[in-house]
Amino acid sequence: MTTRQDCDVLDQEDPLRELKQQFDLPAGTIYLDGNSLGVLPRETLGRVQQVIQKEWGQDLIKSWNTAGWIDLPGRIGDKIARLVGAAPGELIVADSTSLNLYKALSAALRISLEQAPERKVIVSERSNFPTDLYIAESLAQQLGLRLHLVDNVADIAATLNTDLAVLMLTEVNYRTGYKHDMKALTAAAHAAGALVIWDLAHSAGAVPVDLNGAKADFAVGCGYKYLNGGPGAPAFVWVHAKHAQRCWQPLSGWLGHAAPFQFTPDYQAAAGIKRFICGTPALLSLAALECGVDTVLAAESLGGMQALRKKSIALTELFIELAESRCAALGIRLASPRDENQRGSQVCLSLDAPLHEAGYAVMQALIARGVIGDFRAGDPARLDEVPHILRFGFTPLYIGFADVYDAVEHLVQVLKNEEWKRPEFNTQGAVT
């Protein structure tokens, strides 16, 4: 079994170890929740100060031109493009993931309904992140379509038929960390005549993504998880070049207009992906996002996303090894795919009965020890398939092998000492 000493050696030999210096990490904390909210880059405060004091405070309205505010959604979009296999000019930063999905799904459905009006079904997974399902439910209801949710990945294949308009999936599942085969599923859906939208919320900056290589149709993603953009950072949206110049989206705000500063009363969509911009972007949050994206791009000279993925797999494999060998007898079992190729950059654990209901308290006890993960309640109606889980994200930019060792050690202590039984850990109320 891997020892703490082994982990120190792994950290010393880690070719990505210097990347951690990019962040201000809180002392005494092992932060395994970067899949929910990424940490603070050292550059962010200074950059946001610059935007506030100089660009806003001193230069005021001029900064739309002189500080390049107007170009920021595209400039940051081009940077994110490098992380997800997209070309410059194909991806834009705007609004939230939910809103970008609304735009992308609207666009995809219009294309589908124009080409094949008999296709009336949107397919997704019941375990997809709820906001994706809520947005799809809204559009299905408005357009008289049906949202079909599958309970298992294996059930997707049967839905790829002549009823299918759009297959809408999140590449890496937010609960289990299950990672779809984007290229194979996209090809299969295309073979069935449907379009595919990928939500990269748990992919961008976490796993290598090749949108153009997979020939995906649309993609959206999140700025505040693995991209370290800060709380509620703006999201992004990408459209394949074959759709970009002609597709329609309904949230037609003035900054998505071909000539916004001509202030004409009629809407004319901007060229390409810029038509997916709606209103004025939240500049402070946008500037912070760029600093976060830069922390991931800093890995490019060290092997980029492939190197990050290699370390991510090593971290999650180590966590699984240690958690299973040291905690199985304490009632812990793996709830994420064991196959590294089917796993994103996170690992989830479930708890055997009678510990199963104690998941929330176990996580609170861990957090009290400085190990920050999160708890996600299961589906009360089918806890066998969707159990309560302890969720741990491993961000190779700033998590090391000794961190993984120590996190498991804390988990062992929480379980052995039954620390989770303390009353202060048994008050439900978790957020994100």
117-146 residues in contact with a second copy (CB under 8 A) are 126, 128-131, 133-135, 137-139, 142
Closest contact distance (angstroms) between CB of 416 and a second copy is 25
Query: Quick check: 216 and 240 in contact, CB under 8 A?
Result: yes
Task: Pick the closer one to a second copy by CB: 139 or 182.
Answer: 139
The minimum distance between CB 138 and a second copy, in angstroms, equals 5
CA distance 418 to 409: 14
394 near a second copy, rule: CB under 8 A: no
- Ordered DSSP codes for 400-427: -HHHHHHHHHHHHHHHHTTGGGSGGG--
Judge whether 326 counts as a catalytic residue: no
User: Out of 23, 31, 129, 178, which one is annotated catalytic?
Assistant: 129
> Phi and psi dihedrals of 296, rounded to 5?
-80, -40
Out of 78, 179, 391, 394, which one is annotated catalytic?
Answer: 391
Residue 191 dihedral angles phi and psi, to the nearest 5°: -60, -30
DSSP sequence for 199-254? E-TTTTTTS---HHHHT-SEEEE-SSSTT---TT--EEEEE-HHHHTT---S---G
- Among residues 161 and 264, whose Cβ is nearest to a second copy? 264
Interface with a second copy includes 33 (CB under 8 A)?
yes
226 is catalytic: no
Residues belonging to the chain: 432
CB 320 within 8 A of CB 70: no
Nearer to a second copy, 174 or 420 (CB): 174
Residues 48-87 that bind a second copy (CB under 8 A): 48-49, 51-53, 55-65, 69-70
- The least distance separating a second copy from the CB of residue 184, rounded to whole angstroms, comes to 25
Q: Is 132 annotated as a binding residue?
A: yes
Active site residue 224: yes
DSSP at 123: E
Residues touching a second copy, count (CB under 8 A) = 88
Q: Which stretch binds a second copy (CB under 8 A): 40-48, 191-199, 340-348, 407-415?
A: 40-48
Q: DSSP string covering 248-302, please?
A: --S---GGGBSSGGG--SS--BPSGGGGG--S---HHHHHHHHHHHHHHHGGGGG
- Known binding residue 427? Answer is no
Peptide bond into 41 cis (omega under 30): no
In whole angstroms, the minimum distance from the beta carbon of 337 to a second copy comes to 20
Between 252 and 342, name the residue whose CB sits nearer to a second copy: 252
Scanning residues 343 to 372, which ones bind a second copy (CB under 8 A)? 367, 372
Q: Looking only at residues 223 through 252 of this chain, which bind a second copy when binding is defined by CB under 8 A?
A: 224, 230-235, 250-252
> Considering the complex, what minimum distance in angstroms separates the CB of residue 2 from a second copy?
27
The answer on whether 280 is annotated among ligand-binding residues is: yes
When the beta carbons of 149 and 302 are compared against a second copy, the nearer one is: 149
Q: Which of 33, 78, 199, 217 is catalytic?
A: 199
* Residue numbers 299-338 binding a second copy by CB under 8 A: none
Smallest distance from a second copy to CB 12, Å? 27
Neighbours of 117 (CB within 10 A): 9
Q: What is the number of alpha carbons within 13 Å of residue 390 lying toward its C-beta?
A: 31
Separation CA 165–CA 333 (nearest Å)? 38
The set of catalytic residues is 129, 199, 224-225, 391
Residues comprising the binding site for pyridoxal 5'-phosphate?
97-98, 129-132, 170, 199, 202, 224, 254, 280
